[in-house]
Amino acid sequence: MNLKRILIIEDDIAIGNLMKMTIELHGYHYKLATKGKEALREVISMQPDVIILDLGLPDIDGIDIILKVRTWSQIPIIVVSARGEETEKIKALDMGADDYVEKPFSVDELLARIRAALRRSVSNVVTMKEQPIFTNGPLSIDYLSNTVFVNNKEIHLTPNEYKLLETLSKNLGKVLTHNYLLKQVWGDALDTDIPNLRVFMATLRKKIEKDLNQGKFIQTHIRVGYRMIHWEKSEEKKN
């Protein structure tokens, strides 16, 4: 099995070391870049499967790196940022980052995020989008007939709920911000609509997760947004 390549872009030595050690111990191939320019070079030469990016770099704004990478590649990007800096995270996600971890993070957390990102790059975004039927564990969505099944039982959703679920499923594993979802589902994004979105999401979750014995498809990222997770992953988490 060929090793997965992970590019770490982090200027803090201590955190860089921690990440390095974690990743090495779990059998990934890695490279560490401490500056933005160096990192951009590595992205091209190394062709990593996942990028872990600290937003506070000395030379280039982390957001710029996301923008540059996204011009030619869909490599999953996990952003590392301090807790509480929601606006920064939201900006990074809106600019194309896939996921984020908050400092201070635990080793398990980081590994889980890497696994999810790798799965995302493996399951190949393009083919997934083109398939008429989406399956994620017990959940399946028929994009052609706009129907949703959990454990082969059809679930009745309102048009907005369906749109929400569709948007989330087409971005499996990716954190979608409130604004992104509002734009996708309602067409425009007003801050005042966010409470509405929350309630929609809560009812949607109740409908599709009701019979799953605590299993989860959708994760709430408070103050940031929502994400649909791989079913296997949520099973893992429970253990």
Instruction: Considering the complex, state which of residue 17 and residue 106 has its C-beta at the smaller distance from other proteins.
Output: 106
Our CB check for other proteins shows the closer of 11 and 85 to be 85
Q: In the bound complex, what is the minimum distance in angstroms from residue 198's beta carbon to other proteins?
A: 4
Stretch (H or E) spanning 101: strand 99-103
Which residues would be at the binding site for other proteins (CB under 8 A)? 83-84, 104, 106, 158, 160, 194-196, 198-200, 202-203, 206, 220, 222-223
204's CB contacts (< 8 A; 6+ apart) are 157, 161, 164, 165, 218
Burial class of residue 184 in the structure, from the number of CB atoms within 10 Å of its CB (0-12 exposed, 13-18 middle, 19+ buried): middle
CB nearer other proteins, residue 87 or residue 135:
87
Q: Which of 120, 121, 70 is CA-nearest to residue 227?
A: 120
Q: Toward other proteins, which CB reaches closer, 85 or 94?
A: 85
Min separation Cβ 207 and other proteins, Å: 12
Termini Cα distance of the chain: 26
**CB of 80 vs other proteins, minimal distance in Å:** 15
Least separation in angstroms between residue 162's CB and other proteins is 12
d(CA 28, CA 22) in angstroms, rounded, equals 9
